[in-house]
Amino acid sequence: EGIYAVGDVTGNVELTPMAIAAGRRLADRLFGPPSFQNAKVSYDNVPTVIFSHPPIGTIGLTEKEAIEKYGHENIKVYRSKFSNLYYGPWAVDPSEKPKTAMKLVCAGSDELVVGMHVIGMGADEMLQGFGVAIKMGATKADFDACVAIHPTAAEEFVTMFPWGMGKEASGARVSPLNGAAAPEPNIDT
């Protein structure tokens, strides 16, 4: 009693930010208000990046893991490979320009995004933002409903072919599909 372990020694996700998050939740439980007495960190869908050149980012299940978990017939995979627009004006043969490769792994009839993988310039920054969407239960339709920021590599994730062809199902608390109003917070009075 009174001895706690966080981080790599727990054998879960061995990343510094994961240890920090676990430590924060432990501090919340031990020293926070009663509303935090059950605070725990989630080890599901933790975005991870390998800071190589180019960087590699991943969150969620691989295609193989998704097939093993949900069955081949319940998985749809979207892929894209392209030259990052950053290299557009470079006087280099297109075949020599560094490529970016992306994959969305979706499961079920609602095409819940259960895995997202990218290698290429900006993968680290992309995963931080898209990680929130995936933690919140985003679907392919949610990605399709997001207006792309151009010119960026990240826009490929929200315009990935075929675009807008799947079931209109949202993982959001308030669906952003079909021009719906933005969600409003619950205000305690």
Residue pLDDT, tens place only, 61-97: 999 999 999 999 999 999 999 998 888 888 989 889 9
Cα dihedral sign, 126-129-132-138: negative
Q: What is the mean pLDDT of the chain?
A: 88
Q: What is the pLDDT of residue 165?
A: 81
Burial status of residue 165 (CB atoms within 10 A of its CB: 0-12, 13-18, 19 or more): exposed
Q: What is the pLDDT of residue 71?
A: 95
Average the pLDDT over 105-130 and give the result: 94
- Catalytic residue (one of 53, 72, 117, 150): 150
Q: What is the pLDDT of residue 178?
A: 54
Give the model's confidence band at 136: pLDDT under 50 very low, under 70 low, under 90 confident, else very high. Answer: confident
Q: Are strands 112-119 and 99-107 parallel, antiparallel or unpaired?
A: antiparallel
The angle subtended at Cα 148 by Cα 117 and Cα 175, nearest 5°, is 85
Neighbours of 186 (CB within 10 A): 5
**How many CA atoms lie less than 13 Å away from 61 in the CB half-sphere?**
18
* Cis amide leading into 151 (omega within 30): yes
Query: Does 72 participate in catalysis according to the annotation?
Result: no
